[in-house]
Copies of this chain bind each other. A is one copy, B any other.
Amino acid sequence: VINAGKSQHNEDQACCEVVFVERRPSPRGRLTSREGCGELDGVRAAEVKGFYFHYWALFDGHAGSGAAVMASEKLHVHICEQLRDLVDILQDPSPPPICLPHGPGDPTRVSVAEDEGEVPNDAVPRFHLEKAVSHESLVIGAIENAFKHMDDQIERERGAQPLAGGCRALAAIYLMGKFYVANAGDSRAIIIRNGEIIPMSREFTPETERQRLQFLALLRPELLGKEFTHLEFPRRIQPKELGKKMLYRDQNMNGWAYKKIEEDDLKFPLIYGEGKKARMMATIGVTRGLGDHDLKVFSSNIHIKPFLSCFPEVRVYDLTQYEHCPDDVLVLGTDGLWDVTNDREVAGVVMEVLTSYEPNDPCRYTMVAQELVVRSRGVLKERGWRLANDKLGSGDDISVFVIPL
């Protein structure tokens, strides 16, 4: 991670952890505890059951580092919490039960799960229509909800500590042979396997999420505070253009068509600009992320939430399905990297640096990450920081993980 000058302090944060997911203590344990029989520790220790997951995450903060710092300290804890109820279910090879007799930690469950010595499981279809749900989709659901809980915590605690701003979040969780890559924002993850590039995320920006945002604005116009129109136009309309015909598109369209300009079209478009300059409500360039609960449109009382969503998209890569060599890696990077170095160039640097080290040298992956950061920063010349191709280097914070597969 480096700060390349855009902000005074680094607003990128990173976290890397090995987390043990301990099965929630059973109610019987709690009962024993309350009864104070003194053997609790021994009983509890024997009951400790769980699994590990490996975790890497990048948080690209904006308007301060508060949200990014808190998310880097807590997101994996929320993921762990969501997984704790699933310890028995994920370790059981049979399909997850559709319905649990009662909630985990509920005495009724104990009578089934522990007194009969088995995990409750009603996976045998009892109805004509019953959808099979995989273990994998339970992990995805746990990660999705963990992002929501993380966002809620930032909202709750933002009064007590400096938590202004927000952050994009990109997390890679390795669990039971699979990588789960969760992305909320415009960071990016790619796998490079045998020289091939496999995208493991997509960016959430006003452009990529235009239709979702326009749909919400159409259905809940009060969220726009009479300042914005849900229609997109290729540029601002001037009052004197009333009655002329202009290109537009709405929530149903991917193409463009002409419409006669009406009074309402003079409002500012919900989505405006393109590429790195695209903005939602003239305020923010990403549409997913954590925090930003107090973010409003400049000099107005219009909130950016709920247009800004905290939910990630989770992609899964099954490591057991492929052979991997020491040069196969998962690269996570914030936009400080990707704005100036594309997928193909990143793959080139990975290949180049890895081959200059012994395959069993543990430093080689760190060296790739450093090299990616340094090349994206560029070198200071008379005309500013320049890349090898003489283009301007990234002025944004740059963070990179290179994870051997």
Residues of A near any B CB (own CB < 8 A): 82, 85, 96, 98-104, 127, 129-133, 136-145, 148, 212, 215-216, 219-220, 234-237, 241, 243-247, 249, 252-258, 260, 272-274, 277, 309, 311, 313-314
Contact = CB atoms under 8 A, between A and B. Distances in A.
A252 B129 contact: no
A131 B255 contact: no
A281 B249 CA distance: 29
B256 A102 contact: no
A99 B244 contact: yes
Contacts of A236: 127, 129
A131 B235 contact: yes
Contacts of A133: 234, 247, 256
26 contacts: A85-B258, A96-B247, A98-B234, A99-B247, A100-B246, A102-B243, A103-B244, A103-B258, A103-B260, A129-B273, A129-B274, A129-B277, A130-B234, A131-B273, A131-B274, A136-B255, A138-B247, A140-B253, A140-B254, A140-B255, A140-B256, A141-B257, A142-B257, A144-B255, A252-B309, A254-B314
A140 B100 CA distance: 48
Nearest to A220: B219
Given A101-B244, A215-B215, A234 B141 contact: no
Contacts of A272: 129
A354 B143 CA distance: 50
Contacts of A244: 99-103
Contact of A255 (B138, B212, B273): B138
A82 B246 CA distance: 15
Contacts of A216: 215, 219
Nearest to A136: B255
Number of copies: 2
A263 to B, nearest CB: 16
A315 to B, nearest CB: 10
A140 B244 CA distance: 22
A137 to B, nearest CB: 5
A256 B138 contact: yes
B254 A313 contact: yes
Nearest to A140: B255
A200 to B, nearest CB: 15
Contacts of A255: 136-144, 314
Contacts of A256: 96, 133, 137-138, 140-141
Contacts of A212: 215
A245 B99 contact: yes
Contacts of A143: 255
A262 to B, nearest CB: 12
Contact of A235 (B101, B102, B129): B129
Contacts of A129: 235-236, 272-274, 277
A148 B259 CA distance: 15
Pairs A-B, 7 closest by C-beta atoms: A140-B255, A141-B255, A141-B257, A131-B234, A100-B245, A130-B235, A252-B311
A258 B243 CA distance: 54
Contacts of A249: 141
Nearest to A139: B255
A258 B100 contact: yes
A144 B101 CA distance: 49
Contacts of A257: 82, 138, 141-142, 144-145
A98 B141 contact: no
Contacts of A311: 252-253
A232 to B, nearest CB: 8
Nearest to A104: B245
A256 B142 CA distance: 8
Contacts of A139: 255
A9 to B, nearest CB: 30
